[in-house]
Amino acid sequence: MRPTVHDIAAEAGVSLATVDRVLNGRPGVRRQTVEKVETAVSRLGYVRDVMAANLARRRIYPLVFVIPAGPNSFMRVLEAEIAAAMGRSSVERTSIRIETVPPFDSGAIVRVLDALDPQSVSGVALVATDTEEVRIAVDRLIDQGVQVATLVSDLPGSRRVHFCGIDNIAAGRTAGNLIGRFCAGRPGKVLVVAGSLKLSDHMDRASGFAAVLKSEFPELEIIGPVETNDDADAVRSAVGAALDADPHIIAIYNLGAGNRGLIEAIAARKPRRPAVIAHEVTRHSRQALADGVFDAVINQDCGHEVRSAIRVLKAYADGLNPLSAQERIRIDVFLKDNLP
Amino acid sequence: MRPTVHDIAAEAGVSLATVDRVLNGRPGVRRQTVEKVETAVSRLGYVRDVMAANLARRRIYPLVFVIPAGPNSFMRVLEAEIAAAMGRSSVERTSIRIETVPPFDSGAIVRVLDALDPQSVSGVALVATDTEEVRIAVDRLIDQGVQVATLVSDLPGSRRVHFCGIDNIAAGRTAGNLIGRFCAGRPGKVLVVAGSLKLSDHMDRASGFAAVLKSEFPELEIIGPVETNDDADAVRSAVGAALDADPHIIAIYNLGAGNRGLIEAIAARKPRRPAVIAHEVTRHSRQALADGVFDAVINQDCGHEVRSAIRVLKAYADGLNPLSAQERIRIDVFLKDNLP
DNA sequence: CTGTTAGCGCATTCAA
DNA sequence: TTGAATGCGCTAACAG
Q: What is the pLDDT of residues B100-121, one digit of tens each?
A: 999 999 999 999 999 999 988 9
The three-class DSSP label of residue A202 is helix
Pick from A2, A171, A295: CB nearest B338: A171
Query: What's the pLDDT at A279?
Result: 98
Alpha carbon distances (Å) from A74 to A81, A281, A285, A301:
11, 8, 10, 10
* Average model confidence (pLDDT) across chain A: 93
Q: Does A90 touch chain B (CB under 8 A)?
A: yes
pLDDT digit string, tens, across residues B198-238 = 889 999 999 999 999 999 999 999 998 999 999 999 999 99
Query: What's the pLDDT at B317?
Result: 87
Rounded average pLDDT over A217-242: 96
Backbone angles phi, psi at B253, to 5 degrees: -120, 110
Indicate the CATH number for domain B168-299.
3.40.50.2300
Q: How far apart are the CA of B146 and the nearest CA of chain A, in angstroms?
A: 24
Q: Which nucleotides of chain C have an atom under 7 angstroms from any protein CB?
A: 1-14
Q: Does A1 touch chain B (CB under 8 A)?
A: no
A210 pLDDT tier (thresholds 50, 70, 90):
very high
Rounded average pLDDT over B294-318: 94
User: Measured on CA atoms in the order A218, A330, A227, A156, is the torsion positive or negative?
Assistant: negative
Chain centroid to CA B87: 20
Pick from B170, B183, B325: CB nearest A338: B170
Q: Does B1 touch chain A (CB under 8 A)?
A: no
Rounded average pLDDT over A39-53: 89
B89 pLDDT higher than 90: no
Which residue stretches of chain B are H helix? 5-12, 16-23, 31-44, 50-57, 73-87, 89-92, 106-115, 132-143, 168-183, 200-216, 232-245, 259-267, 283-291, 302-317, 324-327
Query: What's the pLDDT at A230?
Result: 93
Rounded average pLDDT over A266-290: 94
Q: Does B335 touch chain A (CB under 8 A)?
A: yes
Pick from B52, B177, B301: CB nearest A55: B52
Query: What's the pLDDT at B295?
Result: 96
Dihedral (C-alpha) A220, A224, A229, A232: value to the nearest 10 degrees?
A: -50
pLDDT digit string, tens, across residues B140-172 = 999 999 999 999 999 999 999 999 999 999 999
Pick from A51, A184, A328: CB nearest B54: A51
Rounded average pLDDT over B51-61: 86
Query: What's the pLDDT at B220?
Result: 97
In whole angstroms, what is the distance from residue B223 CA to residue B214 CA?
A: 13
Q: How far apart are the CA of B335 and the nearest CA of chain A, in angstroms?
A: 7
Is the minimum distance from the CB of B55 to strand C below 7 Å? yes
Is the minimum distance from the CB of B53 to strand C below 7 Å? yes
Query: What's the pLDDT at B260?
Result: 96
Which homologous superfamily is B5-48 in? Answer: lambda repressor-like DNA-binding domains (1.10.260.40)
Residue ranges, comma separated, of all CATH 1.10.260.40 domains in chain B are: 5-48
Q: Which nucleotides of chain D have an atom under 7 angstroms from any protein CB?
A: 1-14
Q: Does B338 touch chain A (CB under 8 A)?
A: yes
Residue A16: nearest nucleotide (C-alpha to C1'): C3
The whole-number Å distance from A57's CA to C2's C1' is: 21
In whole angstroms, what is the distance from residue B44 CA to residue B235 CA?
A: 63
From the number of C-beta atoms within 10 Å of its C-beta (0-12, 13-18, 19+), residue B295 rates as buried
Contacts 24+ apart (CB under 8 A), A211-216: A211/A172, A211/A173, A211/A176, A212/A172, A212/A173, A212/A176, A212/A177, A212/A180, A212/B337, A213/A176, A213/A179, A213/A180, A216/A176, A216/A177, A216/A180
Residue ranges, comma separated, of all CATH 3.40.50.2300 domains in chain B are: 57-165+302-329, 168-299
Residue A4: nearest nucleotide (C-alpha to C1'): D9
Rounded average pLDDT over B41-51: 88
B312 pLDDT higher than 90: yes
pLDDT digit string, tens, across residues A104-129 = 999 999 999 999 999 889 999 999 99
Q: How far apart are the CA of A138 and the nearest CA of chain B, in angstroms?
A: 29
Q: Does B59 touch chain A (CB under 8 A)?
A: no
pLDDT digit string, tens, across residues A54-68 = 888 888 899 999 999
Does domain B57-165+302-329 fall under CATH 3.90.1530.10? My reply is no
The three-class DSSP label of residue B45 is coil
